[in-house]
Amino acid sequence: MQKLKNEGLNRMDVEQFRTSEKTPLIIVLDQVRSALNVGSVFRTADAFLVEQLYLCGITAVPPHKDILKSALGSTETVGWKYFEKTTDAVAELKKSGYKIIAVEQAVESISLQDFKVSEKEKIAVVFGHEVNGVDEAVLKLCDACVEVPQFGTKHSLNIAVCAGIVVWDIFVKFRKINT
């Protein structure tokens, strides 16, 4: 076995990325306090051709040095918008026809593996603050809530890790229905 060199990875360049067909998915970061986590979510969004990131409240925005450190250039490919209030971001997404999905441990949450996507559906997933999760006011505006099953002693995942799991899962589900 031998590692591939960068040239062998057949990656898109920035222009190819910008013009490529995107996964009908927007990631909403609700009050995410760590800029390193934000940068990691940018990289995940790039990896799975996410349409855009909505950065809300205290969530840092590019060109913050810690975002750039972990994003490794993905702030140049993935589009983003800033909203002072996450509820405003959700309202805009609803007007544009997105189904809003909170990623949170909640009474009526659906286990991620049971979450279904439809080929005609556009989805926005909301990830919350590292300690407090998705704000209650935002949660009330969501159409559904998914939860990543966990089996150990801890009851949460780092937001960047959680985003990677959820976005990968949705990406795969969209690809299966569109092939």
Residue 16 resides in a domain? no
- Tell me the average pLDDT of the chain: 95
pTM confidence score: 0.96
Residue 12 resides in a domain? no
Q: In degrees to the nearest 10, what's the CA dihedral of 48, 170, 129, 153?
A: -110
Residue 96 resides in a domain? yes
Q: Are 37 and 129 in contact (CB under 8 A)?
A: no
Residue 128 resides in a domain? yes
Number of compact structural domains in the chain: 1
Residue 130 resides in a domain? yes
**pLDDT tens across the length of the chain (179 residues):** 988 887 788 889 999 999 999 999 999 999 999 999 999 999 999 999 999 999 999 999 999 999 999 999 999 999 999 999 999 999 999 999 999 999 999 999 999 999 999 988 999 999 999 999 999 999 999 999 999 999 999 989 999 999 999 999 999 999 998 76
Residue 8 resides in a domain? no
Residue 129 resides in a domain? yes
Domain range enclosing 122: 21-177
CATH code of residue 168: 3.40.1280.10
Q: Where are the beta strands (DSSP E) in 18-148?
A: 23-30, 50-56, 79-83, 98-103, 110-111, 122-127, 144-147
The 10s digit of each residue's pLDDT in 79-128 is 999 999 999 999 999 999 999 999 999 999 999 999 999 988 999 999 99
Residue 57 resides in a domain? yes
